[in-house]
Structure 1
Amino acid sequence: MTVHAIRGAVQVSADDRSRILEATTELVTAVMTRNSLVSDDVVSMLFTMTPDLTAEFPALAVRKAGLYDVPLLCAVEIAVPDSMPRVVRLLAHVDVDRGRSGIRHVYLDGAEALRPDLEQ
């Protein structure tokens, strides 16, 4: 097995607890589904949020989705002027038996603009 990193992001419609949890759940579910992952494949997940999102930790959505034994960390994204607002970013480390070309990064709900070079 090889450890790979999977990137993802989702733009949240508002700084609201339920919207952050819903958007994060949507992102994590899409990463897991598109990469055919189960919880045992996930080594860890790092979340960052733009400074305008403060209503909830995105890691709570992962716990509610049942990933109880995965190490999670949340941090604040760098406040770059004129950057996309209300974004939750994800860096997931996974242990899978496939090449890097078999990894699918996931950008949702407007965050696709962050990586126009990727096929969604």
Structure 2
Amino acid sequence: MMVRGIRGAITVERNAEEDILQATSQLLDEIVQANGVVPDEIASVFITVTHDLDAAFPAGAIRKLSGWELVPLMCSMEIPVQNSLPMCIRFMVMVNTTKGQDEIKHIYMNRAKALRPDLSKEAK
């Protein structure tokens, strides 16, 4: 077993608590489903938001989920690079797994598909 990182990102349309929390839950659900992981296999989740999202802590949505109470979560501000994608929530989910790097499914949703078009699927 080793630790692997699963990347993901999603955008929201408004800097509103409900939008941030809903998008966070949606992205987490997609990552968990696509990779077949459960909270007990998650070593930690690092979450960043762009500077224009300050209405809520995304980790708040995850802490409310059953089974996720003990998973270490950390939120931070994304580096404010000029002309970068606005209104974006990014994840780095560190998971204990036997999967190879090529078996990990990274999830990019909404306008965040532009960040990694090579990893984005039309179904997402």
TM-score, normalisation: structure 1: 0.97
Q: Note the residue ranges of structure 1 that are not aligned, 5 or more in a row.
A: none
The letter for the 1-side match of 2:92 is L
The offset of 1:119, in angstroms, is: 4.2
Displaced runs of 4+ in structure 1, greater than 2 A? none
The reply to whether residue 111 of structure 1 matches residue 112 of structure 2 is yes
**Which residue of structure 2 lines up, in the alignment, with residue 3 of structure 1?**
3
Residue 65 of structure 1 and its aligned partner are, at CA, apart by 2.0
Q: How far has the Cα of 1:98 moved from its partner?
A: 1.3
Distance, in Å, in 2 between the alignment partners of 1:58 and 1:41 is 20
The more displaced of 63-72 and 44-53 is 63-72
Identity percentage of aligned residues: 41
Distance in structure 2 (CA, Å) of the matches to 1:45 and 1:36? 16
Q: Structure 2: how far apart are the matches of 1:97 and 1:38? A: 14
User: Which residue in 2 is equivalent to 1:31?
Assistant: 31
Q: State how far apart, in whole Å, the 1-side matches of 2:101 and 2:9 are.
A: 19
Question: Structure 2-normalised TM-score?
Answer: 0.94
CA–CA separation in structure 1 for the residues paired with 2:120 and 2:50:
24
Counterpart amino acid of residue 9 in structure 1 = A
C-alpha distance in structure 2 between counterparts of 1:46 and 1:119, whole Å: 20
| Count of matched residue positions in the alignment of Structure 1 and Structure 2 | 120
Long gaps (5+) in structure 2: none
Structure 1 segment 82-101 matched on structure 2, within 5 A = 82-101=83-102
* Residue of structure 2 in register with 1:74 after alignment: 75
